[in-house]
Chains A and B, each alone.
Chain A
Amino acid sequence: AQSVTQLGSHVSVSEGALVLLRCNYSSSVPPYLFWYVQYPNQGLQLLLKYTSAATLVKGINGFEAEFKKSETSFHLTKPSAHMSDAAEYFCAVTIGGTGANNLFFGTGTRLTVIP
């Protein structure tokens, strides 16, 4: 069963348009949630993380995500896309515990920004 679901393996937006990347999860334990970005030929970089503080989390490069427990979602947004935002984005969630082996990643969403 899929524990972390990223809806849409590819998303295209126009430069300046809203970016919305979706992440839903299944967990019975209050989770930690993360968004990572991977640029070509680079390692993953943390964009933001939620660890039980404010439900709206602000990250780097103008991204933010809102933890909605009732919807089991942690969607990533940015008001205005830049060309430099083109990359692959991964949602990660702790499921079934908070050990290192409880961190599950989604399959990723590749964001294309159209000039």
Chain B
Amino acid sequence: GAGVSQSPSNKVTEKGKDVELRCDPISGHTALYWYRQSLGQGLEFLIYFQGNSAPDKSGLPSDRFSAERTGGSVSTLTIQRTQQEDSAVYLCASSLAGWEMDIQYFGAGTRLSVL
């Protein structure tokens, strides 16, 4: 079956513009995660959605970052007024249940470049 799909695969934007990154999780997966992978850094947790529970937003680096998950499926990560330090690969993952109980499946990521 289809894996986790992210779009676009690459995004180049100008400093100060807003961007939206999309994640289509595996059908039926209740949990969805966003991570950021900066050059030379490990993955940095951003946000976690689990079913109908309130999302864990504790990893969002600033109020310029927000994420939604509509209908328990597709998720959008929005970065407002982008800065050069936002340049990174943004990874989405999903799992069938809560992450402790199941494997996370990752998308190929969106490479964001802020000029």
- Residues of A that sit less than 8 Å from B by CB: 4, 9, 32, 36, 41-46, 49, 51, 90, 92, 98-101, 103-108
> Contact mask B72-115 → A, CB, 8 Å, 1/0?
00000000000000000001010000111001111111000000
Which 9 A-B residue pairs are closest in the complex by CB-CB distance? A43-B106, A105-B42, A100-B48, A105-B43, A44-B106, A107-B42, A101-B58, A43-B108, A43-B107
A45/B40 contact (C-beta < 8 A), A98-B100, A100-B45, A100-B99 known: no
- Residues of B that sit less than 8 Å from A by CB: 3-4, 31, 33, 35, 40-45, 48, 50, 56, 58-59, 91, 93, 98-100, 103-109
Residues in B with CB closer than 8 Å to A44 are: 43, 91, 93, 104, 106
**Out of B31, B104, B108, which one reaches A46, CB within 8 Å?**
B104
- List the B residue with the shortest CB-CB distance to A36: B106
Residues in B with CB closer than 8 Å to A106 are: 42
A11 to chain B, nearest CB (A): 16
Asked if A90 contacts B42 (CB within 8 A), the reply is yes
- List the A residue with the shortest CB-CB distance to B55: A100
Residues in B with CB closer than 8 Å to A45 are: 106
Residues in A with CB closer than 8 Å to B41 are: 107
**Out of B40, B42, B105, which one reaches A43, CB within 8 Å?**
B105
Interface of A is mostly: mixed
- List the B residue with the shortest CB-CB distance to A4: B42
Residues in B with CB closer than 8 Å to A4 are: 42
Some 12 contacts from A to B, beta carbons below 8 A apart, are: A41-B108, A42-B108, A43-B3, A43-B91, A43-B109, A44-B104, A49-B103, A100-B48, A100-B98, A101-B48, A105-B44, A107-B40
Residues in B with CB closer than 8 Å to A105 are: 35, 42-44
A46/B99 contact (C-beta < 8 A), A100-B33, A101-B45, A107-B41 known: no
Residues in A with CB closer than 8 Å to B45 are: 100-101, 103-104
Asked if B99 contacts A103 (CB within 8 A), the reply is yes
**Most chain A CB within a 10 A radius of its CB, from B41, B43, B105:** B43
B44 to chain A, nearest CB (A): 8
B41 to chain A, nearest CB (A): 6
